[in-house]
Structure 1
Amino acid sequence: MSSVWTIPYWETAYRLFMAVLLGGLIGWERERDAHPAGFRTHILVCLGSALIMLISIYGFSEFMKEENVRADPARLAAQVVSGIGFLGAGTILRHGLTVSGLTTAASLWVVAGIGLAVGAGYMFGAVLTTILALVSLELLNRLEKILVRRHRLKKIVVSVRDEPGKLGEIASLLGRMGASIRKVTIDEGDLEDDWLNISFTIRLSEEISTTQILEEVRRVTGVKEVRSG
C-alpha cells in the first residue's frame, strides 16, 4: 500500500489543486451575491477536506504492517462530514422573521464532499458534482426568479418609525387591499435609530397593482418611504 512518502508529489499537488479549483468555482458563485461564506471559505473547506482524505488513505500505511491492525480510510473522512456542520451553522443568520444562509451552508457541505472525492482520486464524481452544484445554484436561482414574477410576487420595502403596532397596521392594510403576505423581513439598523426598514414579499391579485399598494402604504402615519424592491 502506498504511503504519503511514496505517493508521487505531482499526484498530491494535482489533487490539491483540483480541490482549490472545484471549491473555488462554487465559492465564486456565492461570493458574487455577497453570501456569508464566499470564495476563500469554499476553497479552504474543499482543500482541507482533500488533504484530510489523502492523510486518511495514505498517512497510516506504515502501521498496517503490524499484526492485528486494520485500516479504515473512512474514519477521518467521517469526521469531516460531521464537523462541517459547525461551519455551516455559522452561515445561517436570522434577521427578524427571516432565516438566511441555508443554501450557503448546504454548498459548504457539498464542497466538503467534493474535497473528499478529490482526495480519494475520484475525479469524475468530484467534477460532475461541481457542475451539478453550479447548475443548482445559478440556473435554478434564475428559474426561481422567473417563477416569482409569473406568480405576481412583489417585494416592497417600507421605512417606518419604530413604534408599537406599525408592522401589524401595515400588514392589515395590505390584507384589506387583497395582497397576500408571503414573507416579512425586518432590518432594525442602528439601535439608536428610530426607523425600521420592513420588507414585505406579497402576492397580488389581478385587481390591484404595485403602484396602488405603494400609494396606500405611504398614507400610513409614521411611514417615511416606500419603494418596490
Structure 2
Amino acid sequence: MQYEYLLRVILAGICGALVGYERKNRMKEAGIRTHFVVALGASLMMIISKYGFQDQNGWENVAFDPSRIAAQVVSGVGFLGAGMIFMQRLTIKGLTTAAGIWATAGVGMAIGAGLYVLGAGVAIIIFVAQKLLHGRFNWLSSPKTEQLVIRITNEPGATSQIQQLLEEKHISILSFQAESSGISSEDITLEMIVRFPGSYGVEQLLPIVQEASFVRAVELK
C-alpha cells in the first residue's frame, strides 16, 4: 500500500506544479517549486492523517479521526499564503497567488485521500481558469497603481488641466505634490500616485498625459 501512497504524493506534486506553472509565467512570488512542495506536503499529511495510525500498538480496531492532521494543514497553509500578500503603491498584491497556494493544498489533500479524479480535475480547473481570466476579460482586471512624475511648463491652470485630463479618462489621483523643477525655473514637477482601470496598459497611460501641449516630460517610477 505504501507504493500506492507514494504514487498519490507524486501525482499531487504534479498537479501542484501545473498550477504553479501558470503563476511562474506571470512572474509571481510563488511558482512551480512552491506549489509542487505545498501539494506534495499536503498529500503526505493527508495520508498520514488517514492511514498512519491505524496499525500502531495494536489499536487496529480503534476508530480514528482522519481530520485531525488535515485540519492543521488547512490552517497552516493559511499562514503560508499570508506571506504572499503585500502592499505595493497602495495596492494589495498577491491575493490570487495566496488563494492558489490554499487551493493547491486542497488538491494535495484530495489526492492523498485517494480522490484522484477530484484532485486532478480541480488542478486542471484552476490552471485553465487562471489562464482564461488573466488578460482575456478587461472587466475582470484589477485596477493598477503607478507613480507618475510629470514636468510641465509653469502656465496658469496647467496643474488643474492635468487633473481634469486624468479624471476624464477615469484615472484617480491618490496623492499629489507639486514643486519647482530643478531643470528650469519656468517648469513645475508634479509627483502623483494614480490608479487607473486594469484595462489600461502603461503604454496607454503615457499618451493620455502627453496630450497636453505644456507637458515637457513624463516618467514612471
Q: What TM-score, normalized by structure 2, do the two folds share? A: 0.72
Task: Give the counterpart of 1:139 among 132, 135, 150.
Answer: 132
1:175: Cα distance to partner?
Answer: 4.6
Report how many aligned residue pairs link the two structures.
195
Q: Please report the RMSD computed on the Cα atoms of aligned residues, expressed in angstroms.
A: 3.8
| CA distance 1:203–1:19, shift in 2 (3 Å) | closer
| CA distance 1:56–1:203, shift in 2 (3 Å) | closer
1:219: Cα distance to partner?
Answer: 3.7
Partner SS for 1:225: strand
1:131: Cα distance to partner?
Answer: 1.4
Instruction: Kindly indicate whether residue 12 of structure 2 is the aligned counterpart of residue 19 of structure 1.
Output: yes
| Identity value in percent | 37
Task: Output the CA distance in 1 between the equivalents of 2:70 and 2:78.
Answer: 14
Instruction: Kindly indicate whether residue 29 of structure 2 is the aligned counterpart of residue 36 of structure 1.
Output: yes
| CA distance 1:67–1:36, shift in 2 (3 Å) | closer
Instruction: Kindly indicate whether residue 99 of structure 2 is the aligned counterpart of residue 106 of structure 1.
Output: yes
For structure 1, which runs of at least 5 residues remain unmatched after alignment? Answer: 1-6, 162-167, 186-194
1:32: Cα distance to partner?
Answer: 0.8
| CA distance 1:96–1:115, shift in 2 (3 Å) | same
| CA distance 1:134–1:155, shift in 2 (3 Å) | same
Letter in 1 for 2:51: Y
Asked if structure 1 preserves the Cα contact closer than 8 Å seen for 2:28 and 2:97, the reply is yes
Instruction: Kindly indicate whether residue 218 of structure 2 is the aligned counterpart of residue 214 of structure 1.
Output: no
| CA distance 1:34–1:217, shift in 2 (3 Å) | farther
Instruction: Kindly indicate whether residue 192 of structure 2 is the aligned counterpart of residue 201 of structure 1.
Output: no
Task: Output the CA distance in 1 between the equivalents of 2:37 and 2:117.
Answer: 21
Q: Which deviations, in whole Å up to 9, do the C-alpha atoms of 1:157-186 show, x marking residues without a partner?
A: 73358xxxxxx979734355x12126869x
Aligned equivalent of 2:72: 79
Aligned equivalent of 2:170: 180
Asked if structure 2 preserves the Cα contact closer than 8 Å seen for 1:98 and 1:183, the reply is no
Aligned equivalent of 2:148: 158
| CA distance 1:160–1:85, shift in 2 (3 Å) | farther
Partner SS for 2:148: strand
Aligned equivalent of 1:165: none
Letter in 2 for 1:18: L
Aligned equivalent of 1:119: 112
| CA distance 1:72–1:214, shift in 2 (3 Å) | same
Task: Output the CA distance in 2 between the equivalents of 1:117 and 1:198.
Answer: 44
Q: What TM-score, normalized by structure 1, do the two folds share? A: 0.70
Asked if structure 1 preserves the Cα contact closer than 8 Å seen for 2:24 and 2:32, the reply is yes
Task: Output the CA distance in 1 between the equivalents of 2:144 and 2:49.
Answer: 50
1:65: Cα distance to partner?
Answer: 3.9
| CA distance 1:169–1:129, shift in 2 (3 Å) | farther
Aligned equivalent of 2:51: 58
Asked if structure 1 preserves the Cα contact closer than 8 Å seen for 2:149 and 2:192, the reply is yes
Q: Which deviations, in whole Å up to 9, do the C-alpha atoms of 1:113-150 show, x marking residues without a partner?
A: 000011111001001101110121111213224x479x
Q: Which deviations, in whole Å up to 9, do the C-alpha atoms of 1:66-93 show, x marking residues without a partner?
A: 4994301111001111111111111111
Letter in 2 for 1:201: F
Letter in 2 for 1:115: G
Letter in 2 for 1:33: R
Task: Output the CA distance in 2 between the equivalents of 1:36 and 1:134.
Answer: 17
| CA distance 1:38–1:175, shift in 2 (3 Å) | same
